Amino acid sequence: MRRVIAILFLCLVCFMPVGLAQDDFQYWSRYSIKLLSNELFDFTNYWEMRGFEDASSLGLWYTSQKLQIHPVKNLSFGINYTYLEFEAADAAQKTNEFKYQHRFELEATPHWALPGQFKIKNRNRMEFRWIEGRGSDNGRYRHLWELYRSLDLGWLKGIYINNEFFVDFARHQIAENRVTPVGITLRFNQHAGLKVFYMIQSQKGGFDWKSNQILGTQIDLLL
């Protein structure tokens, strides 16, 4: 079993070819407030803000309303709505301006408990996106594998790694890949927790890939 788990770690990190993270350092700040939670479903309000250009400029923010349904033991379904604004360059005006995006998301996430306090999940998300100036023909599929190891070291409750790739149907290609080689989960009490992670984000440009280094935090609250 240890050999299987080691192979899973290697596959998660190396699933997609990733270039050197050299183009930009970014800081992603996430906030998750779980408003309702029981054995059948969860309802969560989620926010994210991203600092670009060495974390000096707010280049993207969004908010999501997430409904997670748990019909059976090892499977969850999600229905989400996301409103997003991102900074886009206007070549004609030689300026940057924020454009908005509406996103309807459907998710299916099988998950399993493994020996040795390991857990693995596989989130599959289909996104139907309406982007300002580009219309509604912007469907995207996201596929994520995550391996989590539970711990009980005071506030430190777990470590994890994951890998996610994005298929852009309008461009007919894999357009993005995100590798998180290390992340930690902290829990302060039953109602408050924190995640801290390092990520390498690789995005497909016109001819090649570019990569960014990302430091991220996520505050989790349960009301």
Q: Domain segments of the chain: what residues?
A: 2-222
Token digits of residue 111: 């998950």
What would the 3-class secondary structure string for 186-200 be?
EEEECCEEEEEEEEE
Cα-trace Rg, the chain: 18
According to the model, what pLDDT value does residue 21 have? 47
- Cβ–Cβ < 8 Å for 80, 109: no
DSSP 58-110: EEEEEEEEEEEEEEETTEEEEEEEEEEEEEEEETTTTEEEEEEEEEEEEEEEE
pTM of the model: 0.88
Residue 63 pairs in a beta bridge with 47, 83
According to the model, what pLDDT value does residue 136 have? 94
DSSP category for residue 9: H
- Cβ–Cβ < 8 Å for 81, 64: yes
CATH fold for the domain made of 2-222: Lipocalin (2.40.128)
CA distance 80 to 45: 10
Reduced to 3 states, what is the DSSP secondary structure of residue 56?
A: coil
Q: pLDDT of 156-170, one tens digit each?
A: 999 999 999 999 999
Q: Which one, of 219, 193, 200, 220, lies nearest residue 24 by Cα?
A: 200
Question: Hey, what amino acid is at 206?
Answer: G
State which residues of the chain have pLDDT below 70: 1-22, 90-95
CA distance 46 to 117: 27
